[in-house]
């Protein structure tokens, strides 16, 4: 058993019979009263953020997780299929367990998070950024860059995101998978 003094970002704990990752925490020692730790916890199954306050020194149950690199193979309409490149072991993961499934392209490398006690899959995380080609967007007007105007663009994975007006069909762009936004145009 550990205590709140062991908190750090990314630590996986058991809380309310579920697994949570600590997104951020802050030790608070008010002038009067007892110290406490204010946290933001992410539920590993649903992805929802839960604010919670722990009294300082309370016992917590730390859970062990393991990240394994995998390669995305295909989507059969229900599950997404991945393969371990070293052992060629394959597994299926439902879309809800993937942080940005709309940006997955065949052959992409991802990290699968396993709960080591139960050997169950907790989540699938894409890299922070991925490079994708724009397959459709409205033509941009030359010289129309005075404002931060954005337009819709359909990517090769059929995801639709907002891009600047100067992006054209065939351009490769870098997409931030954490907030699903345009990052930059990639030079060939």
More confident residue, 113 or 148: 113
Residues 110 and 134 in one domain: no
- Domain span at 109: 65-125
Residues 109 and 137 in one domain: no
Overall pTM surpassing 0.75 (yes/no): no
Residues 57 and 76 in one domain: no
Query: E strands of 29-145, at which residues?
Result: 36-43, 49-55, 59-62, 65-75, 79-83, 90-94, 109-115, 120-125, 129-137
CA distance 174 to 129: 6
For residue 146, pLDDT beyond 70: no
Tens-place pLDDT, residues 83-119: 998 899 999 998 888 888 899 999 999 999 888 888 8
CB 46 within 8 A of CB 39: no
Q: Looking at the 3D structure of the chain, how many domains does it have?
A: 3
CB 20 within 8 A of CB 41: yes
Residues 57 and 8 in one domain: yes
Closest CA to 114 of 137, 152, 84: 84
């Amino acid at each position: 058993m550990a205590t709140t003094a062991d908190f750090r970002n990314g630590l996986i704990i058991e809380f309310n019979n579920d697994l949570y990752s600590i997104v951020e925490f802050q030790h608070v020692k008010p002038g009067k009263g007892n110290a406490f730790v204010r946290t933001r916890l992410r539920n590993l199954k649903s992805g929802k953020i839960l604010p919670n306050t722990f009294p300082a020194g309370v016992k917590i149950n730390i859970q062990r997780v393991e990240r394994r690199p995998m390669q995305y193979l295909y989507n059969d309409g229900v599950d997404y299929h991945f393969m371990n490149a070293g052992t060629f072991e394959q597994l299926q993961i439902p879309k809800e367990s993937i942080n940005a499934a709309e940006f997955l392209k065949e052959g992409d490398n991802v990290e699968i998070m396993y709960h080591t006690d139960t050997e169950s899959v907790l989540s699938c995380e894409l890299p922070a950024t991925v490079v994708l080609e724009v397959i459709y967007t409205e033509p941009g007007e030359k010289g129309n860059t005075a404002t931060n105007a954005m337009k819709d663009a359909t990517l090769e994975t059929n995801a639709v995101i907002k891009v600047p007006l100067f992006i054209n069909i065939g351009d490769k762009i870098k997409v931030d998978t954490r907030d699903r936004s345009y990052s930059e145009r990639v030079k060939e």
